[in-house]
Amino acid sequence: MDASLPLGPTRIAAVVVAAGKGLRTGGAVPKQFVVWRGKPLLRHSVEALLQAGVAPVIVAIPDGWEDIAAEALAGLSQVRFVVGGATRQESVRAALEAIEADAPVKVLIHDAARPVLPRAVITGLLGALDGALGAVPVLPVVDSMVRGAEGAILHPVAREELYRVQTPQAFDYPTILVAHRAWSGTPDAGDDAQVAMAAGHDVVLVDGDEALRKVTFAADLEEQAMGGQVRTGMGFDVHRLVEGEELWLCGVRIPHGKGLSGHSDADVAIHALVDALLGAIAAGDIGDHFPPSDPQWKGASSDRFLAHAASLVGAAGFEIANVDVTVICEAPKIGPHKAAMRAALAQILGIDLDAVSVKATTTERLGLTGRGEGIAAQAVATVHAR
């Protein structure tokens, strides 16, 4: 929990609007439940709110999707669901009324289609409510703007007074609840700031964030998955095969007459992948973080190293786009175990299975791997800025 957020008697709740069908991304499942970066789209922003100390979080969902929604947010506490209405405004009103008994003082209203929710935006919005009844995050318009009709320019529009509006939007809870109950506008309200202004309340502007982009179409999912800056790292490792050791490769125990000797459980494939991830963010190598001379790592499971490397990638402001591991050996045969290896790596890293590749090759009986004296592995990891 971020100590910068108001705590104590000031109770901050959140509404996440996920009640639309959202089928413009091209699938049969509403976009808020589509898996993106290893978890359902909806879960990203809900987790961000909870981690910021905002609770409870009320999620407005489509009628009939209760089981899917519960699965998407499984394991998260202080999350409740309400079936949304025919319009966005009706869904928000239903969610606001569902938390009336909680008596929150402030509320954040967010669209699930904006999965990346920076902590700084939350903090800025809540701080703005100290002197206002409503606040919205915005970004400046940088392109030239014109008004047009029938394919022709009518006149230019000054962009200095134009902004791109994002969510979450923050409000004094009693004020926005009354405003939604009084709303009679047609058509549906574009956002909650419109509802508040229709009730006569001013809404202030705070800095938004480009990361808060909205997912609408399938291409948006792909674009956000790539993010901004892209980096690639490479890793290589080799360990000796010996009697009396277990053989672990890519987090999977492989039945074999010999095992690998070396650092921790000597999972040579994971070690190569750890170095690839660390290389992508210029954070040294596995020996810098887990020195072989430190007795606490003797026999340790290498999945701990990989999870740590993944956390460093996140702390550096990046997401893992994909990883590719090649195991180099004459025996055992890797093919029968590749599916389990990919699944294990995907789970440790928290990324989609289709972002994990595991391959195998031999050295045509040349060198130490060709003679069966050891196993080598090389890995490539690509990360992108969030």
Instruction: Identify whether the C-beta of residue 289 lies closer than 8 Å to the C-beta of residue 305.
Output: yes
Query: Do 317 and 344 share a structural domain?
Result: yes
Residue 132 has pLDDT above 80, yes or no: yes
pLDDT in tens, 72-89: 999 999 999 999 999 999
Instruction: Identify whether the C-beta of residue 378 lies closer than 8 Å to the C-beta of residue 326.
Output: yes
Query: Euclidean distance between the first and final Cα of the chain, in Å?
Result: 21
Query: Do 247 and 187 share a structural domain?
Result: no
Query: Do 239 and 187 share a structural domain?
Result: no
What does the block give as tokens for 42? 């909806």
pLDDT value at position 9? Answer: 43
Measured CA to CA, the distance from residue 41 to residue 30 in angstroms comes to 10
Query: Do 80 and 64 share a structural domain?
Result: yes
Where is the domain boundary, 195, 225, 255?
A: 225
Count of CB atoms situated within 10 Å of the CB of 14: 29
Residues near 85 by beta carbon (within 8 Å), at least 6 away in sequence: 19, 91, 93, 94
pLDDT value at position 336? Answer: 95
**What 3-state class would DSSP assign to 57?**
strand
Highest mean pLDDT among 112-116, 200-204, 215-219, 226-230: 200-204
Least confident of 124-133, 221-230, 279-288, 312-321: 221-230
Residue 349's domain is classified under what CATH number?
3.30.1330.50
Measured CA to CA, the distance from residue 226 to residue 32 in angstroms comes to 18
Query: Do 342 and 356 share a structural domain?
Result: yes
Asked if residue 2 belongs to a domain, the reply is: no
Instruction: Identify whether the C-beta of residue 12 lies closer than 8 Å to the C-beta of residue 108.
Output: yes
Query: Do 248 and 219 share a structural domain?
Result: no
Q: For CA atoms 266, 268, 269, 274, give the dihedral sign.
A: positive
Query: Do 166 and 108 share a structural domain?
Result: yes
DSSP of 84-133, one letter per residue?
--SSHHHHHHHHHHHTGGG--SEEEEEETT-----HHHHHHHHHHTTS-S
Task: List the Cα angle 193/199/202 in 5-degree steps.
Answer: 55
Global pTM value: 0.59
pLDDT in tens, 143-183: 888 888 888 888 888 888 899 999 999 999 999 999 999 99
Instruction: Identify whether the C-beta of residue 327 lies closer than 8 Å to the C-beta of residue 375.
Output: yes
Query: Do 335 and 290 share a structural domain?
Result: yes
Measured CA to CA, the distance from residue 153 to residue 329 in angstroms comes to 66
List the one residue out of 46, 42, 51 whose CA is nearest residue 5.
51
Residues near 274 by beta carbon (within 8 Å), at least 6 away in sequence: 235, 286, 302, 305, 306, 309
Asked if residue 47 belongs to a domain, the reply is: yes
* Region for residue 160 given its phi and psi (left: phi exceeds 0; alpha: psi -120 to 50; beta: otherwise): alpha
Residue 305's domain spans which residues? 230-385
Asked if residue 151 belongs to a domain, the reply is: yes
Query: Do 269 and 203 share a structural domain?
Result: no
Asked if residue 6 belongs to a domain, the reply is: no
List the one residue out of 354, 334, 327 whose CA is nearest residue 343.
354
Where is the domain boundary, 176, 198, 225?
A: 225
Q: Are strands 106-111 and 163-165 parallel, antiparallel or unpaired?
A: unpaired
Asked if residue 5 belongs to a domain, the reply is: no
pLDDT in tens, 88-131: 999 999 999 999 999 999 999 999 999 999 999 999 999 999 99
Residue 39 has pLDDT above 90, yes or no: no
Where is the domain boundary, 225, 253, 271?
A: 225
Residue 42's domain is classified under what CATH number?
3.90.550.10
What does the CA dihedral 160, 166, 168, 174 come to, rounded to 10 degrees?
A: 60
Residue 35 has pLDDT above 60, yes or no: yes
Asked if residue 7 belongs to a domain, the reply is: no
Average pLDDT, stretch 191-211? 95
Query: Do 204 and 142 share a structural domain?
Result: yes
Total domain count for the chain?
2
Asked if residue 1 belongs to a domain, the reply is: no
Residues near 34 by beta carbon (within 8 Å), at least 6 away in sequence: 25, 27, 40, 41, 221
C-alpha pair distances (Å), 110 with each of 45, 73, 90, 340? 8, 16, 14, 38
Query: Do 178 and 89 share a structural domain?
Result: yes
Count of CB atoms situated within 10 Å of the CB of 374: 21
Residue 228 has pLDDT above 60, yes or no: no
148 phi/psi in degrees, rounded to 5:
-140, 170
Query: Do 269 and 178 share a structural domain?
Result: no
DSSP 32: G
